[in-house]
Copies of this chain bind each other. A is one copy, B any other.
C-alpha cells in the first residue's frame, strides 16, 4: 500500500481590494490530507473541524475529486483511500475547500511518485475546488505556491507570485456563523460604476506594490475594499466593530477573508497580530469565534 500525507495551509482570498485576483497563504493552520492508493473502491474519512459538514461520498468530496484528477492524468488504475483531517472551517473564508483540494492533489501525486509542477497541481486541485466552491484560483494558487499571489483572469489564468520581502503577520478570527460563498457572491452587483472600480483598481495595484517593496505604510493605505466589503459586511455580525478593534490594536489593515465570515487583519509583527486577534474576538461580543494567528507562509502545501 503506497501513500503520502500533505499539509495544506489556510489562505485569505481577495486580500482586501483584490477581489478574485489576490490570495495570501497563512502558516500554521490548514488541512492534512492522507492519500493511499488502493485496489478497492474510493473511500474517504474525515475528522477535525466541521468534519460532520464534509461529504464522505467520494464523488462529492473535494480531496477525493482532486486526487482522482491526478490518477486520471497519470493513467493509474488504482483508486484512493483518503483521510482528511480538517484544520480549517467549512465555508469559513479561510480557503478550507482549496486546502482539501490541494492536499488531495499533492498527496495523490506524491503517492504515485509523480513530480508535479505548480501549474499541474493547481489544475488538479481546481477540479476539487470547482465541485464544492466554484471555479476560483485565489485560494488554490496561494495554497500551492505560498506567499501572495496575483492572478490575471485570462485563459489559462496567469498566476503571478508577488515577492514579500517583509511579510506581515495575519490574524484570522472566524465567528460561528455560516456565510455561503455562492450567497456572498450573489449580493455583489454585475456592473460597477467607474469611480468605484478605478479606486478598487488603484488600491489593488498599490497593495501589490506595498507587499513587493515591504512598504507597510502603503499597505495600510491600500488595504481598502470599496467593492465587496461594504456589501458583505451586513452578513457578518459586528463586522464594523471587529474591524475598528483590529485597527485600534495596531493592525495595518483589516477586511473580510474570502467571502467571509472570517475577518483577517495584517500586522507588522506577531505580538501586534495577537493583540488584534484578541480585540477582534472581543468585538464579536456574544458571537463565539475562533482565532488563528500566523505569519504569511512562504511555503504552500507540503509533505506532513
A residues bordering B, Cβ < 8 Å? Answer: 18-22, 150-154, 158, 160, 162-163, 188-195, 197-209, 212-213, 218, 221-222
Contact = CB atoms under 8 A, between A and B. Distances in A.
B194 A190 contact: yes
Given A160-B218, A163-B213, A212-B209, A150 B192 contact: no
What number of copies of this chain does the assembly contain? 2
A193 B197 CA distance: 10
Given A163-B213, A208-B205, A152 B221 contact: yes
Given A19-B198, A20-B198, A193-B191, A150 B212 contact: no
- Most chain B Cβ neighbours within 10 Å, of A22, A152, A153, A158: A152
A19 B153 CA distance: 18
B195 A153 contact: yes
Given A190-B193, A192-B197, A151 B202 contact: yes
Contacts of A18: 201, 205
- Most chain B Cβ neighbours within 10 Å, of A22, A194, A195, A222: A194
A211 to B, nearest CB: 9
B208 A209 contact: yes
Nearest to A151: B202
